[in-house]
Amino acid sequence: MWGGRFAEGPSAIMREINASIPFDKALWRQDIAASKAHVAMLGAQGIVSAEDAAAIAAGLDQVAAEYEAHGVPENWDLEDIHMTTESRLAELIGPAAGRLHTARSRNDQVATDFRLWVRDAIDQADAGLEALQVALVTRAGEHADSIMPGFTHLQTAQPVTLGHHLLAYFEMAARDRSRLADARARLNQCPLGSAALAGTGFPIDRQATAHALGFAEPTRNSLDAVSDRDFALDYLMAAAQIALHLSRLAEEFIIWASQPFGFVTLPDALSTGSSIMPQKKNPDAAELVRGHAGRIVGSLTSLMITMKGLPLAYSKDMQDDKPPVFEAAGLLTLCLAAMEGMVAGATFRTQRMRAAAELGYATATDLADWLVRQAGIPFREAHHITGAAVKLAESRGVALDALPLADLQAIDARIDERVFAALSVDASVASRASYGGTAPEQVRLRVAEARGALGLE
């Protein structure tokens, strides 16, 4: 490839550091598709003869069939997927293969291929999130009335419903899908035809190639088109946020599955045992989701650092853009599948959850609210009275609603027997009926809305 300019070939070190075929062979489908769109345009514009265009297209189909059947060969002398494909094409159809690279450069070629690959990765992640949402909303509907402790600081705060808790992750996934949609819309411009950096003097039709590849339009600046990797960063930023949400959900399952909590039994298919302790059932899939989040965030950081100081236009540093994206996408696909399976297959121990809510003074806020509503006491004073009641109940090892009325009235005489209707966990969750609250009626409304949004109704 370099014979016309250099008297000597590259050294072994240069050959090894320069070759990207071990990883960019993953782009072969996108490279074939972009090449076919390009040569079809060249033929339509009369830049390449119809005969040569047809021969090139047929040859590309044959190369694709070989890759599909046997994989992409790794000849490091050919450096990358683009030259590997062009070289094999020349072996198949002869000198006409050399016309394929008319009016394009590897710079706009790789930018196009990579955008196509990232667009596919976005669609795959979105499908994974949708499957997770279906699992979440299905289980939320089953547990609209199941009471569990809600936590702040991992301390019992107020009773909530399990359905409400699961729907919180549904909302996170909805935001994640919106980020993916935004990233997809921004990347959906086609760099092909920008050539090395300045465009081309050939009378190409960039609209035709853009539309053939499913892009909304061509890119508007050739310098930016070949040097832009914002689309990859957008994807990694969205992937990192998804990974953080999945890690939080995984952590919940890890805690809930531990013996002190005992809120959930995880699916056997997503758990492992111990080599020495036969009683163990370890939440390894959830722990790996939690761990993989760090690697996905690391992929984002890696590409951000690579891009931070590059002048226009293309620099070879950008060859390192693909490994972090490929790694993050692979990990994200696994994590989404693991958490979808965990949500769908978990057995929730709702009686244990309810008992934990009843033991944690989770209705203390309900007592304070009752004092405000029924006795007209300012909230800060009600807060103080409730704290004294909790201290008394704690000293006796009983729940708030187990304290005798006389003891409550000894704390504040304005308390009467009506208070007990507010102190059960059922009354507590039922009272949280504001829009978006944990009351079962609200949970069922949100489940119905979510199912409608997912097309499940």
Q: Give the DSSP H/E element, type plus range, for residue 191.
A: none
Q: At a CB cut-off of 8 Å and minimum separation 6, what does 330 contact?
A: none
**Phi and psi, residue 112, nearest 5°:** -70, -50
Mean pLDDT of 80-105: 96
Q: What is the per-residue pLDDT for 274?
A: 61
Q: What is the per-residue pLDDT for 346?
A: 96
Q: pLDDT digit string (tens) for 262-297?
A: 999 998 887 776 666 656 678 899 999 999 999 999
Q: Provide the Cα torsion 419, 421, 425, 426; round to 10°.
A: -160
Q: Name the average pLDDT for the chain.
A: 93
Q: What is the per-residue pLDDT for 359?
A: 80
Residue 116 CB-half CA count within 13 A: 26
Confidence grade of residue 358 (pLDDT, cut at 50, 70, 90):
confident
Confidence grade of residue 125 (pLDDT, cut at 50, 70, 90):
very high
Greater confidence, 366 or 147?
147
Confidence grade of residue 9 (pLDDT, cut at 50, 70, 90):
low
Residue 209 sits at the vertex; the CA angle it makes with 207 and 211, to the nearest 5 degrees, is: 65
**Phi and psi, residue 48, nearest 5°:** -125, 145
Q: At a CB cut-off of 8 Å and minimum separation 6, what does 12 contact?
A: none
Mean pLDDT of 14-22: 85
Instruction: List helix spans (H) across 191-229.
Output: 206-212, 222-227
Q: What is the per-residue pLDDT for 430?
A: 93
Q: Closest Cα partner for 206 from 224, 225, 219, 196?
A: 219
Measured CA to CA, the distance from residue 57 to residue 37 in angstroms comes to 9
Q: What is the per-residue pLDDT for 366?
A: 85
Q: Which among 70, 153, 395, 434 is annotated as catalytic?
A: 153
Q: Residue 2 pLDDT more than 60? A: no
Measured CA to CA, the distance from residue 325 to residue 114 in angstroms comes to 10
Q: What is the per-residue pLDDT for 268?
A: 82
> Does residue 333 contact residue 120 with C-beta atoms inside 8 Å?
no
CA 389 to chain CA mean position, Å: 45
Confidence grade of residue 212 (pLDDT, cut at 50, 70, 90):
very high
Measured CA to CA, the distance from residue 161 to residue 369 in angstroms comes to 19
Q: Which of 7-16, 246-255, 447-456 has the lowest average pLDDT?
A: 7-16
Measured CA to CA, the distance from residue 137 to residue 455 in angstroms comes to 12
Measured CA to CA, the distance from residue 254 to residue 268 in angstroms comes to 14
| Beta bridge pairs of residue 272 | 282
SS3 113: helix
Mean pLDDT of 390-398: 89
Amino acid at 51: E
Q: Which of 174-188, 307-321, 387-401 has the lowest average pLDDT?
A: 387-401
Q: pLDDT digit string (tens) for 218-250?
A: 999 999 999 999 999 999 999 999 999 999 999
Q: Which among 49, 258, 274, 315 is annotated as catalytic?
A: 274
User: pTM for the whole thing?
Assistant: 0.90
Greater confidence, 399 or 138?
138
Amino acid at 25: K
Rg (CA), the chain: 30
Q: pLDDT digit string (tens) for 301-341?
A: 999 999 999 999 999 999 999 999 999 999 999 999 999 99
> Does residue 130 contact residue 96 with C-beta atoms inside 8 Å?
no
Is 434 a catalytic site residue? no
SS3 409: helix
Q: What percent of the chain is predicted at pLDDT more than 90? A: 80
Is 222 a catalytic site residue? no
Residue 285 CB-half CA count within 13 A: 23
Q: Looking only at Cα atoms, what is the longest distance across the chain?
A: 101
